[in-house]
Structure 1
Amino acid sequence: MLKPDYPLKTDRLILRPFAPSDLDALYDLQSRPEVTRYLLFDTRDRDAVEESLEQKTRAAALTEEGGNLSLAVELAETGQMIGDVILFWLSRERRQGEVGYIFHPDHGGRGYATEAARVMLRLGFEDLGLRRIIGRIDARNTASARVLERLGMRREAHFVENEFVKGEWADEVVYAMLEREWRAG
């Protein structure tokens, strides 16, 4: 089980559980085509974002395999929510997880996604005791690939036309890191 002592802080960011007051910021994020372009879901209307937020507010702890920890990411300096990060617990037996992130395009290129995802890797490896964490992306999402590479994850697989997303076949790339690589890094 993983229930972090919130808020989690880095030099520039605060990671915390989602709250109902995050609706406007989350809507601003999930309603943008440039944000959802490489995601499995399309742009969301306000009702769909409300449903998404309800799920996220319940994901402040990882209590069982198959669950996820979903956290809002704020700029420490202003308190503005600029994105979210997620850690999925894929398998208890195999001690495997998956990391993901979505950030507002106005805050891209500053290392925030890498900084926040690094916190999720730490939680997965050091607090939850995972042995392996993956990151799965659409092969066209080169910005996300750079984030995973900066985290020290290795590109392990490229699945050609693996997913049918938004009416087209898309390639999927999988990155991974082992606990021993995390500790050595």
Structure 2
Amino acid sequence: MPPTHLAGPHLALRDIDPGDTDALLAVYGDPEATRHLSFEPRTPEQVQTIVDRSVASAEDTPRTEYCLAVTRLGDPRLIGCARLATEPQRAAAIGFALHPAEWGRGLGTETVRLLCALGFEELGLHRIWAARAPLNEASARTLLRAGMTEEGRIRDHVFVRGVWRDSITYSILEHEWTKP
């Protein structure tokens, strides 16, 4: 498979590589960055496993998972991680996490738009969906600004930090997608 690389006005998405481990740990190991995610902060060993799995999945045919480094345009350093996992029926689930130092700049919206471009323009998907924690209002604004529609609540969807947590779901369909 050719390497994945997408570029927007401020960001680029590229395949995760082994050199991203420390930068990914700075995101996935950070309690603030993972506060609303479906997992607790990751250990260095867990992040290494994620990187190894991501590098391996980039070689799969057909490819069903895209774990991508979020970088500033022109700067290869990872500032976040974006994921698209295909599902049957020409659909995919997406998710992303940015380092807290990057929050509040519209980069989440651009990340979601780039994931949608990958899904609709390159993979020919019909539907893309995402889920957020109910208390993550910033993510709600991000997903709506990216063109997604709120669909509803999945009750007791994930077990994290010792409790069950609901998820609020969003989606966008291929006919709703407009190129950036």
TM-score above 0.5, yes or no: yes
> What is the CA-CA distance between 1:111 and the residue it aligns to?
1.1
Structure 1 Cα separation of the partners of residues 113 and 148 of structure 2: 11
The DSSP-based 3-state class of the residue aligned with 1:135 is: strand
Superposed CA deviations along residues 123-150 of structure 1, whole A, max 9, x for unmatched, are 1112211111101111111111111101
* Corresponding residue number in structure 2 for 1:177: 172
Structure 2 Cα separation of the partners of residues 155 and 22 of structure 1: 33
Structure 1 Cα separation of the partners of residues 171 and 156 of structure 2: 20
Unaligned runs of 5+ in 2: none
Query: Aligned residues, how many?
Result: 180
Give me the TM-score of the superposition, normalised by structure 1. 0.88
Structure 2 Cα separation of the partners of residues 170 and 163 of structure 1: 5
The DSSP-based 3-state class of the residue aligned with 1:140 is: coil
Superposed CA deviations along residues 103-135 of structure 1, whole A, max 9, x for unmatched, are 000000111121122111011112211111101
* Corresponding residue number in structure 2 for 1:102: 97
Alignment of structure 1 residues 146-185 onto 2, 5 Å = 146-183=141-178
Alignment of structure 1 residues 124-163 onto 2, 5 Å = 124-163=119-158
* Corresponding residue number in structure 1 for 2:66: 69
The DSSP-based 3-state class of the residue aligned with 1:161 is: strand
* Corresponding residue number in structure 2 for 1:8: 6
Whether 2:76 is the aligned partner of 1:79: answer: yes
Give the letter for the 2:85 counterpart. F
Give the letter for the 1:118 counterpart. R
Moved more, 139-148 or 102-111: 139-148
> What is the CA-CA distance between 1:85 and the residue it aligns to?
0.8
Contact 1:61 1:68 in 2 (8 A): no
* Corresponding residue number in structure 2 for 1:44: 42
State the Cα RMSD in Å: 2.1
Structure 2 Cα separation of the partners of residues 103 and 5 of structure 1: 22
Superposed CA deviations along residues 17-50 of structure 1, whole A, max 9, x for unmatched, are 1111111101111111111222222111111111
Give me the TM-score of the superposition, normalised by structure 2. 0.90
Query: Identity, % of aligned pairs?
Result: 36
* Corresponding residue number in structure 2 for 1:31: 29
Structure 1 Cα separation of the partners of residues 55 and 77 of structure 2: 17
From the superposition, tell whether residues 61 and 174 of structure 1 become closer, same or farther in structure 2 (CA, over 3 Å). farther
